[in-house]
Amino acid sequence: MKKLFGILGSYYREDFKWASFILTALLATVLTFFAYRNHFYESYIESASPLSTQVIRYCGLYAIAFIGSFVLQGVAERDFRFLKSGNWWLLIALAIGLFAFRGSDFDFKSWMFGDGITDRSTFQHKVAYNLGGFVTLMIPCFVYWFFADRTRQNFYGFKVKGVVLSPYFMMLAIMVPLLFWAGTQPDFLNTYPRYSKIGVDATAPDYARCVGIYELVYGSDFLVTEFFFRGFIILAFASRFGHKAILPMCAYYVTIHYGKPLGETISSFFGGLLLGVIAYRTRSIYGGVIVHLGIAYLMEFFAFLGHAGYLHL
């Protein structure tokens, strides 16, 4: 943990600015307030139709959070040089456009199955969607890295040399009491475990196999998400703009949690900041992958226990 505290301490001393942090946090708070007010996010963005409208609305939401945070940081630090950089605008377009397309799956099931939707279509759709991140996010980012960044750094965050992983397992251990408490909360149990919503009846002979397949691909989605936010967004920007992308990434990261329990959305800002600083300082996403995957699977585990009636305060 000493190394981890050293990383955070260095960031606080050298890069952290209270004014930038407060303005970014306020923007994330305002966006979250409106997203959860009268289920605005679900009704206006998540359920928008046709697909093109949904993509545009996702782009708008993400742009307000991501670009807005950069601008507020510029106001706080009186530095708007990034606005004159064509590379910054290209990265902004990729960061917003790729994830907007990734998140907009309103017509995806119809596209996959047409009129042939069956009882297993929900399961097949969820498996395909979770694996789809490798195609919609990692491949485009690899293309950008190959042409723009491969001489500057490893493929965003996939660095092994010198990485110490033990502190991240300790961070997971610290999260266990909080996740235990979450497993007793109705809003958490309404959302988790995710495997309970795969569209396969629990009495089906292959139910356990379907759950196992789903949990594997569910974990792969967290790997892709960690790569995109802490690998691509942090490290692609960092090669030219230093630490400036960390706080905007946090605000952006909050918006992809809309529709989930409010406590999870709020904590994503601080979790994103912690993992973003670590990725920026270590140039590796492996620690973040351990934390992200660990928390995801612990949430599934404690939700299972909660539904089974094993958790009591």
Q: What is the DSSP string of 209-255?
A: HHHHHHHHHHHHHHHHHHIIIIIIIIIIHHHHHGGGGHHHHHHHHHH
Residues 6+ away with beta carbon under 8 Å from 176: 298
Sorting pLDDT into bands at 50, 70 and 90, what band is 311?
confident
Taking only the tens place, the pLDDT of each residue in 156-192 is 998 877 777 888 888 899 899 999 999 999 888 998 9
Give yes or no for a contact between 31 and 255, defined as CB atoms under 8 angstroms apart.
yes
- Do residues 72 and 23 make contact, with C-beta atoms less than 8 angstroms apart? yes
Residues 66, 272: contact at Cβ < 8 Å?
Answer: no
Mean pLDDT of the residues in the chain: 90
CB 6 within 8 A of CB 65: no
Angle, in degrees to the nearest 10, between helices 18-36 and 262-282: 150
| Terminal Cα-to-Cα distance of the chain (whole angstroms) | 30
pLDDT average, residue stretch 229-239: 94
- Tokens 């190959």 correspond to 146
| 116 band by pLDDT with thresholds 50, 70 and 90 | low
Q: Counting beta carbons within 10 angstroms of the beta carbon of residue 109, is it exposed (0 to 12), middle (13 to 18) or buried (19 or more)? A: middle
Could you tell me the maximum CA-CA distance found in the chain, to the nearest angstrom? 63
User: 38: pLDDT confidence band, cut at 50, 70 and 90?
Assistant: confident
Residue with the bigger pLDDT between 44 and 22: it is: 22
Residue 113: pLDDT above 60? no
Residue 259 has pLDDT above 70, yes or no: yes
**Average pLDDT estimate for 45-67:** 90
Cα–Cα distance measured from residue 306 to residue 312, given in angstroms and rounded to the nearest whole number: 8
Interval 2-9 mean pLDDT:
84
State the pLDDT confidence band at 124, using cuts at 50, 70 and 90: confident
